[in-house]
């Protein structure tokens, strides 16, 4: 797949335009996003991703088209796990609901930046050292096993290592001041809780990038497809949050399904390296990966629906390892204009 510099530039400009469109939308009067608005934006971004995939299929052939759709499906499913953690962060920091859009958009932009960096590093490493496939595979297998072991654990953003250390250095107010990251009280410049929220979102994005990029490289080794699949999955994340936030706690087996997908892709990467080294070792084709991932997600959704139907009190967890330290007593209060 030969990607010209012009195509890369056009893709970057297109993504920047979409991000700019989101910023224009969010910069309007802060408001709670309703179901209809979230649905329309979700349809727009998913439709855009599908149209792009059809273009890849028509322009570069069915093999690369399949790789793109498999990568997009992996990233879209992993992005739902992102949403679990975002919900926890927004809840534990008591972020007023009218500011959720802005926080999520910043999270999406940071995720795009981090993943762009990791894609560049990952592509260079794969080109220079074939054994990188084994390293990526081991990371995914380890992460998948970790998710299975801690599938009933929720992270505590208040105890995030970076957030705790920022608290020690930067004085933080108890109250929000609109969308300001810093405010002045009695002549002193203080950070608002929103600043800590952004720190928590950024560190979370960084950790998710460490998992998602190897996972995407597991279904395609073409950097352009890895980047575009990540970009389209992330651009629709804000709308998906408002569309699914009432359903997220019903996906009780999502972490289990994602863990199995990560382990499967990890094994696929190891087999790919082994196949390149010893041709007699079989490898898993991309078309097979697409089917397996789709079946796992379908079973995960149906099993979650059945479990919640039998026990309506069951709720999902993010499946992230937590810090055992106790929570901070800090509780931020929403500003008066948030009601």
Residue 146's pLDDT band, with cuts at 50, 70 and 90, is confident
Give the pLDDT of residue 153: 61
Residue 317's pLDDT band, with cuts at 50, 70 and 90, is low
Mean pLDDT over all residues of the chain? 79
Mean pLDDT along residues 161-173: 78
Q: Work out the percent of the chain whose per-residue pLDDT is above 90.
A: 13
Residues 324-339: tens digit of each pLDDT: 333 333 443 444 443 3
Between 293 and 224, whose confidence is greater? 224
Give the pLDDT of residue 31: 65
116, pLDDT greater than 90 = no
Between 168 and 339, whose confidence is greater? 168
Give the pLDDT of residue 255: 77
Sort 182 into a burial class: Cβ within 10 Å, 0-12 / 13-18 / 19+. middle
Q: Reduced to 3 states, what is the DSSP secondary structure of residue 257?
A: helix
What residues have CB less than 8 Å from 177, skipping those under 6 apart?
183, 192, 194, 335
Mean pLDDT along residues 5-19: 91
Give the pLDDT of residue 337: 43
Residue 69's pLDDT band, with cuts at 50, 70 and 90, is very high
Residues 19-53: tens digit of each pLDDT: 888 877 776 666 677 778 888 888 999 999 999 99
Least confident range of 145-149, 151-155, 240-244: 151-155
Angle at 273 between CA 217 and CA 137, to 5 degrees: 50
Spatial separation of the C-alpha atoms in residues 191 and 176, rounded to whole Å: 9
Give the pLDDT of residue 227: 92
Give the pLDDT of residue 326: 35
Spatial separation of the C-alpha atoms in residues 102 and 121, rounded to whole Å: 29
Between 62 and 151, whose confidence is greater? 62
Per-position DSSP letters for 35-89, written without gaps between them: HHHHHHHHHHHHHHHHHHHHHHHHHH-HHHHHHHHHHHHHHHHHHHHHHHHHHHH
Give the pLDDT of residue 316: 62
108, pLDDT greater than 50 = yes
Mean pLDDT along residues 182-190: 83
Give the pLDDT of residue 65: 92
Spatial separation of the C-alpha atoms in residues 51 and 58, rounded to whole Å: 11
318, pLDDT greater than 60 = no
Provide the whole-model pTM: 0.74
291, pLDDT greater than 90 = no
Alpha helix (H) residue ranges in 218-253 = 223-235, 237-244
What does the buried/exposed string (b/e) look like for 108-132 if buried means 16 or more CB atoms within 10 Å of the residue's CB? bbbbbebbbebbeebbebbeeeeeb
């Amino acid at each position: 797949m030969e990607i010209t510099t012009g195509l890369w530039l056009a893709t970057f400009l297109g993504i920047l335009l979409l991000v700019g469109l989101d910023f224009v939308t969010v910069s309007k009067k802060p408001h709670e996003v309703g179901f209809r608005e979230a649905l329309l934006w979700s349809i727009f971004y998913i439709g855009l991703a599908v149209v792009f995939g059809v273009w890849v299929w028509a322009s570069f052939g069915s093999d690369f088209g399949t790789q793109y759709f498999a990568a997009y499906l992996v990233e879209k499913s992993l992005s739902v796990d992102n949403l679990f953690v975002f919900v926890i962060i927004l809840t534990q920091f008591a972020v007023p609901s009218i500011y959720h859009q802005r926080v999520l958009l910043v999270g999406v932009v940071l995720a795009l930046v981090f993943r762009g960096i990791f894609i560049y590093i990952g592509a260079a490493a794969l080109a220079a050292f074939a054994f990188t496939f084994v390293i990526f595979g081991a990371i995914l297998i380890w992460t998948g096993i970790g998710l299975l072991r801690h599938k009933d654990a929720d992270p505590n953003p208040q105890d995030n290592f970076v957030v705790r250390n920022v608290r020690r250095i930067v004085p933080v107010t108890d109250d929000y001041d609109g969308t300001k990251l810093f405010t002045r009280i009695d002549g002193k410049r203080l950070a608002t809780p929103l600043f800590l929220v952004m720190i928590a979102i950024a560190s979370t994005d960084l950790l998710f990038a460490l998992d998602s990029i190897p996972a995407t490289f597991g279904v395609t080794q073409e950097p352009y497809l890895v980047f575009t699949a990540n970009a389209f999955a992330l651009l629709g994340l804000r709308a998906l949050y408002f569309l699914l936030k009432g359903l997220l706690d019903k996906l009780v087996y999502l972490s289990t399904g994602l863990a199995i997908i990560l382990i499967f892709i990890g094994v696929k990467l190891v087999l790919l390296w082994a196949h390149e080294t010893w041709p007699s070792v079989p490898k898993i084709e991309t078309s097979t990966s697409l089917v397996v991932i789709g079946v796992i997600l379908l079973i995960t959704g149906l099993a979650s629906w059945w479990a919640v139907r039998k026990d309506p009190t069951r709720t999902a967890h993010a499946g992230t390892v937590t810090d055992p330290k106790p929570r901070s007593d800090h509780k931020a209060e929403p500003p008066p204009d948030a009601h």
